[in-house]
Chain A
Amino acid sequence: MAIRVQSETFDPGLELNALHAANRGIGAVVGFVGYVRDFNDGQDVAALFLEHAPGMTEKALARIVAEAEQRWPLLGVEVLHRVGHLQPGEPIVFVGTASAHRQAAFEACNFIMDYLKTRAPFWKKEDTPEGPRWVEGRDSDLAAAERWRR
């Protein structure tokens, strides 16, 4: 597994290719990319700041990936999350999962994103025409994570 928390941008295509190149037994790679939008909750968003909790962030992501690896037969996982100042259109997060067959890769990618959204210590602050504001958590994200409980 690879976990990276960085301020620099990234190329999702390169990340996907690197996941596949690591193992010829891989028959399926699924990638999710999250981007900064220019509009949220009725307000234009000019820029985004992402705060995190150094140390805790990496531990939380590693725990999430370890749980995914227990649930599905994965041959590779990468989680990359950016922090600091971002502009609309820039990628924020990449989750890539690799497996022999597609179903495990699809489900594990979905699971990792649902858990990342609700259990990894990142916080978004938006610059809007009315000033900066912290993004509030969504109940729909909690519900999405809840469905994986067993």
Chain B
Amino acid sequence: MIRVQYFARYRETIGVDGEQLAWQDGFASLDDLRNHLLARGGAWAVLAEQNLMCARNQELCGLDEPLRDGDEVAFFPTVTGG
């Protein structure tokens, strides 16, 4: 099982703040998970944005970060705090 969260503009565009996905052997990295979501089409295309940021288990990481069953993943647009 993978828990996915979406924040800010991505949450609004996709229309949910998160979801749970059954684990698949093809989920070697966060990018594999992202491609799986992109294949749904429609609003999910927002995840193709160049400046997308992501986190694994609440730590910022790159899309090449390895993924394991049970992980919590977040996708979000460039942060704008401060």
Q: Give the interface of A toward B (CB within 8 A).
A: 34, 50-53, 55-56, 59-60, 63, 81, 92-93, 113, 116-125, 134-137
Contact = CB atoms under 8 A, between A and B. Distances in A.
Given A53-B7, A123-B9, A92 B55 contact: no
A142 to B, nearest CB: 8
Size bracket of the B interface: 10 to 19
B78 interface: yes
Contacts of B59: 56, 59-60, 63
A59 B59 CA distance: 7
A81 B81 CA distance: 8
Given A121-B55, A134-B9, A53 B81 contact: no
Given A53-B74, A56-B58, A121 B7 contact: yes
A92 B82 contact: yes
B77 A119 contact: no
A124 B55 CA distance: 19
B55 A122 contact: no
A122 B58 contact: no
B51 interface: yes
Nearest to B82: A117
13 contacts: A52-B81, A53-B5, A56-B58, A63-B59, A81-B82, A92-B81, A92-B82, A123-B7, A124-B81, A134-B9, A134-B77, A134-B80, A136-B78
B43 interface: no
B60 interface: yes
B77 A117 contact: no
A116 B78 CA distance: 12
Contacts of A92: 81-82
Contacts of B58: 53, 55-56, 59
Contacts of A136: 77-78, 80
A123 B55 contact: no
A81 B9 CA distance: 20
Interface string B65-82: 000000000101111111
